[in-house]
Chain A
Amino acid sequence: MSQHAWETVVQAFPQILGKGLTMTIPLTLISFAIAMVIAVVVAMVQFAKIPVLTAICRFYIWVIRGTPLLVQLYVIFFGLPSIGINVDAFPAAVLVFSINEGAYGAETIRGALESVPAGQLEAGRCVGLSYLQIMWHIILPQAFRTAFPTLGNELISMVKDTSLAANITVTEMFFQTQRIAGRTYETMALYLEVAVIYLLFSTVLSLLQKAGEKRLAAYGRQL
């Protein structure tokens, strides 16, 4: 690698990592947290088979999972202003990532809810618990353990997917890298560098995921 490339990479490192820590990670965590709230509600509505709401949830999941994330970002950030609704880049990205992951997460959690044996719900009813109490104390905790590995993978995917937010001017890691590349022309070195930083983030999250799975397994042993 040339002297210039090295210097660029070294100089760029704190700038790219900085954006990672101040933009990519917060964008991911905030979006994922909101997505989990959406996912639990949407999954529970379907699990409880609440008439009209279930149909609405199915429609939401169908639309979100059937369209590209990038297109969703464009609709919100570039589309809405044309009908008079302006959203800043960062909140627009949070909105889209939350709604997007909400749909995938809902399917994961619904599957996990349905894998809890019916006898658990019946036993809850027989000791005099209400439906919501049974969900809260019995069904959701068990479903969460089942869903945890998949949700962990979805979180890791989301870290990588936030790079798409560069397209709507969110100055996250990848956007920052593109900027520096435009200035220095060290495209290969810089894009490899940002790839390595994404890899670093994913690896840390995978390790956390493994540790989390271990803890869940220790607590209560295998279901």
Chain B
Amino acid sequence: MALLDIQHISKSFGQGEVLRDVNLKVEKGDVISILGKSGSGKTTLLRCINFLERADAGTMVFDGQEVDLHRAAKKEIDGIRKKTGFVFQNYNLFRNLNVLENVTLGLTAGRGMDKEAAKEKALDMLGRVGMEEEKDKFPSQLSGGQQQRVAIARALATDPQIIFFDEPTSALDPQLTDEVLNVMRKLAEDGMTMLVVTHEMGFAREVSSRVVFMDGGLVVEEGEPKSFFANPKDARTRSFLRLAESVKA
């Protein structure tokens, strides 16, 4: 059974239909890149899956448990959040806490782990993203790339079954983008399940196991990266990819 199986999710903001009828399956170990132009509903999709936004309708089976995306109870939501991680476009590190505390808080307060064990685990995670040296610094003292790597460590620390990434590198300049993408590449190699909204075609092509293209609140096309990039079937996919190529060139 798929780790995450989303069916018929829809969401409107006022008059605007942002998600029409999106279906998406994520197997354990999948790295799925979600592509699509601005406003196509990618962020909204991730936010609905983690209940930062309430979908108007839809169901989801996560880790064998079925939930109604519109009606889910607080308890179900808490349960799902404890098993997932989220990495934001603008990092959202806790500004009043240092790097180490940013990573431990979800373990101590969130999961009742004792301080020493949480610290050990956090240092381990910070090591994985190459940030253990900055453990005592505050977010405002770090570069964007460093902040995003800490945010990844924070998400990793809680042993999520899947991590959602919403354009994790789009606020970063190219060099910092690479340091974050390298961390994500390593996670993929370690078998982490990831759902990644991205504009990084290189990442989508080389790292992901599947690519999903969204347009106008619908999944228009999806497939393995090779065939997706080599023979896109839908006209909208083709024009999107052409545009992406031309921007890069």
A residues bordering B, Cβ < 8 Å?
117, 119-120, 122-130, 133, 137-138, 141-142, 145, 220-223
B140's nearest neighbour on chain A, judged by CB, is A221
Nearest residue (CB) in B for A125 is B81
| Contact between chains at B52 and A122 (CB < 8 Å) | yes
* Contact across chains for B106 and A129 when beta carbons are under 8 A apart: yes
> B88 touching A122 by the CB < 8 A rule?
yes
CB neighbors of A among B126-160 (8 A): 138, 140-141, 154-155, 158
Q: Are A124 and B94 interface neighbours, CB within 8 A?
A: yes
- Choose one: B81, B95, B109, B140; the contact of A126 (CB below 8 Å): B81
Say yes or no for B27: interface residue by CB 8 A criterion: no
Q: Is the interface of A mostly helix, strand, loop or mixed?
A: helix
A138 — nearest CB in chain B belongs to which residue?
Answer: B94
Q: How far apart sit A125 and B111, CA to CA, in the bound complex (Å)?
A: 13
With A122-B88, A123-B94, A220-B95 as given contacts, are A128 and B78 in contact (CB-CB < 8 Å)?
yes
- Which B residues lie within 8 Å of A142 (CB)? 95-96
- Contact of B141 with A133 in the complex, beta carbons under 8 Å: no
Instruction: Pick 10 A–B contacts, CB within 8 A, sort by A.
Output: A120-B95, A122-B88, A125-B81, A126-B81, A128-B111, A128-B158, A129-B105, A129-B109, A220-B98, A221-B141
* Interface size range of chain B in the complex: 20 to 34
- In the complex, what residue of chain A is closest to B164 when comparing beta carbons? A126
Residues of B within 8 A of A120 (CB): 92, 94-95
- How far, in whole Å, are A145 and B109 apart by their CA atoms in the complex? 22
Cβ–Cβ contact B92 & A122, under 8 A: yes
Minimum CB–CB distance for A9 against chain B, Å: 49
> Judging by beta carbons under 8 Å apart, are B138 and A220 in contact?
yes
CB distance from A132 to the nearest CB of B (A): 10
Contact across chains for A128 and B81 when beta carbons are under 8 A apart: yes
Q: B199 to chain A: which residues have CB within 8 Å?
A: none
Chain B, 44-63, CB within 8 A of any chain A CB? 50, 52
Q: Is the CB of B110 within 8 A of A129?
A: yes
B88–A119 CB distance below 8 A: yes
Closest A residue, CB atoms, query B83: A128
Contact A145 B106 (CB under 8 A): no
Q: Would you call B25 an interface residue if the criterion is a C-beta within 8 Å of the partner chain's C-beta atoms?
A: no
Find out whether the CB atom of B105 lies under 8 angstroms from the CB atom of A137.
yes
**Known A-B contacts A138-B96, A220-B95; A126 and B110 likewise in contact (beta carbons under 8 Å):** no
- Is B36 interfacial (CB-CB < 8 Å)? no
| Residue B85, interface by CB 8 Å | yes
Expressed in whole angstroms, the Cα–Cα distance for A125 and B88 within the complex equals 13
B82: CB under 8 A from chain A? yes
Give chain B residues whose Cβ lies under 8 Å from the Cβ of A117. Answer: 92
Complex Cα–Cα for A201 and B94 (A): 37
In the complex, A137 Cα to B90 Cα: how many Å? 20
Cβ-defined contact, B96 with A126, below 8 A: no
Asked if A126 contacts B93 (CB within 8 A), the reply is no
Contacts of A124 in B (CB 8 A): 94
B88 & A223 in contact (Cβ 8 Å cutoff): no
**Once the chains are docked, how many angstroms separate the CA of A28 from the CA of B96?**
30
Shortest beta-carbon distance from B232 to chain A in Å:
33
The answer to whether A222 touches B140, judged by C-beta atoms less than 8 angstroms apart, is yes
Residues of chain A within 8 A (CB-CB) of B95 are: 120, 142, 220, 223
In the bound complex, residues from chain A placing their C-beta under 8 Å from that of B111 are 128
Instruction: Say yes or no: A123-B96 contact (C-beta < 8 A), given A128-B111, A128-B158, A223-B140.
Output: no
